Amino acid sequence: MSSSNPATPTPTGAGDFGLPSERDQRRNALLYAAQISITYFAAPALYIGFMQASLCKRLQTSDTIANLPSAVFLGMAWTTVVIAWLFPQARLLKRLLSGAYLLMAAAGLMVATVLVAQPGTTAIVTALMIHAALVGISVPLIGALGWEVLDRGVSRKLRGRALGLAFGVGPAFAALGSLSAQLLMNGKLFDFRLPEAWAPVYPYSYALLFTISAGCTIISAWLASRYTFPIPAHEPPRQSFPDGIVGGFRAVLGYPILLIACLAYLLMYSGNMVQINMSIFTQEAVGQPAENLAGYQLTLRFTFKILAGFLLGWLLVRTNPKVPLLVTAGLLMLGVLWVMFVPGYWFLLAFGINGAGELFGVYYLNYPAQCSPRSQVRRNISVLMLISAFVALAPVGYGFISDNWGLRASFVAALVLLIATTAMVVLKLPWRPQPRPQDMTEADRAALGS
């Protein structure tokens, strides 16, 4: 099908679900990779966890409070399914995507302003919670809409290459951002030290970090507005709340393969949330505060992601959607084991291994997306994002375990959960998922064939 102007409706029928030209598909893939890469540069502030925990510990909060921004972030996932129900039209896809990025920009500027004002511990912690909530609204929405962008703008054959490029090049930007964050936080990077006049001063170093994140998300918002894909001339009206929300749950619960894929994502996500305690463990492992090494940890995390991103994209092209699930699960388990048994500064490599495994978030979402008809991708992924709000219990749970029984006990709990989830994936999920035939329209079947 020839390319259409993104603002011009296409005729109704099977063409409503067609793809743009191959040239525009490649352009969309590059835009997707650029959007992800710029967002990755802001990762030290947008990845709710490491820097927030570091700032909380500087404020002398408990481990539970240090984990609380992650819990707030995860607890906002319910908003995605409501937004997807309120605005289901394909013509709004790019506006919603850009709007989510601009919301994160506003959140970053808010935290920077509060830090500069230095109002006290309670106000700063509150600002971090609000920031986590706004980012928690935006990130799942960007994820759900991103899968629809790929489904409408890139063929399934090209999807593995698009993901490989986005999550291979993207982490290189994250590594650069993390090194910059290390310089901002500690005033030195390896053997290089900032001049005394440029030495970081708390809390202005943190304020600058959040301001940079705002600039990056503004650029990503512009990139998200440049996608090209056909827009249906006539779109179905918004469903009633019961049909749109309850019907989405019914679709997920009624298809065992999709249900198991969603459950595997939630459990793997919960297991990975032990990474906050991994950062806090720095003091015990090497005798330095987590703040002094947070930038290095993030650099390792994203440097390892570069190779893993290209490798996993290649595996998706060459094999099937299940193989990346098993590879990322193995990496997450190895990262936890590394923290538990490798002493001294070699312990820091665990953050690289965990970072590579963290790409589970891409491929454990790709699997249910491929179980869904194109007309239901946004709804099904949004329902999964809503259910993922339960993951908010995980970081608080790990904080509670470490406060009462020690950090190592929380690592054991995470490892048990990861092993059990991997066993379920091996035994219960097929190698090549397909949408359930009765859920597909004729246009969906034509799109799947393309």
Residue 153, domain member (yes or no): yes
The pLDDT mean for the chain works out to 84
Task: Kindly indicate the confidence band of residue 380, based on its pLDDT and cuts at 50, 70 and 90.
Answer: confident
What pLDDT is stored for residue 254 in this prediction?
A: 83
What pLDDT is stored for residue 332 in this prediction?
A: 96
Nearest Cα residue to 410 out of 263, 265, 281: 281
Residue-number span of the structural domain to which 146 is assigned: 18-433
User: Residues 21-46: pLDDT tens digits?
Assistant: 889 999 999 999 999 999 989 988 88
Least confident piece of the model among 4-13, 91-100, 128-137, 157-166: 4-13
Residue 44, domain member (yes or no): yes
Residue 439, domain member (yes or no): no
DSSP percent split of the chain into helix, strand, coil, nearest 5 = 80, 0, 20
What's CA 71's distance to the chain center, in Å?
A: 15
Q: Provide the domain count of the chain.
A: 1
Residue 446, domain member (yes or no): no
User: Residues 49-63: pLDDT tens digits?
Assistant: 767 877 887 887 777
pLDDT at residue 337 is higher than 90: yes
User: Residues 279-297: pLDDT tens digits?
Assistant: 888 888 888 777 677 767 8
Residue 450, domain member (yes or no): no
Strands 192-193 and 188-189: antiparallel
350: phi then psi, degrees, rounded to nearest 5: -60, -30
User: Residues 206-260: pLDDT tens digits?
Assistant: 889 999 999 999 999 999 999 998 887 777 677 777 777 777 788 788 889 999 9
Can you give the CATH number for the domain in which 298 is found?
Answer: 1.20.1250.20
What pLDDT is stored for residue 12 in this prediction?
A: 34
Bridge partners, residue 189, by sequence: 192
What pLDDT is stored for residue 128 in this prediction?
A: 92
Least confident piece of the model among 11-15, 57-61, 73-77, 83-87: 11-15
| Encoded tokens for 93 | 């896809």
Please give the model's pTM, rounded to 2 decimal places. 0.75
Residue 60, domain member (yes or no): yes
Bridge partners, residue 51, by sequence: none
| Angle subtended at Cα 277 by Cα 272 and Cα 279, rounded to the nearest 5 degrees | 100
Task: Kindly indicate the confidence band of residue 97, based on its pLDDT and cuts at 50, 70 and 90.
Answer: very high
User: Residues 8-23: pLDDT tens digits?
Assistant: 344 333 333 578 888 9
CA distance 260 to 262: 5
CA distance 229 to 157: 17
Task: Average the pLDDT over 147-155 and give the result.
Answer: 88
| Encoded tokens for 230 | 């056909």
What pLDDT is stored for residue 4 in this prediction?
A: 38
pLDDT at residue 449 is higher than 60: no
| Collapsed DSSP state (helix, strand, coil) of residue 295 | helix
Residue 444, domain member (yes or no): no
> For the chain, what's the residue count?
450
Residue 181, domain member (yes or no): yes
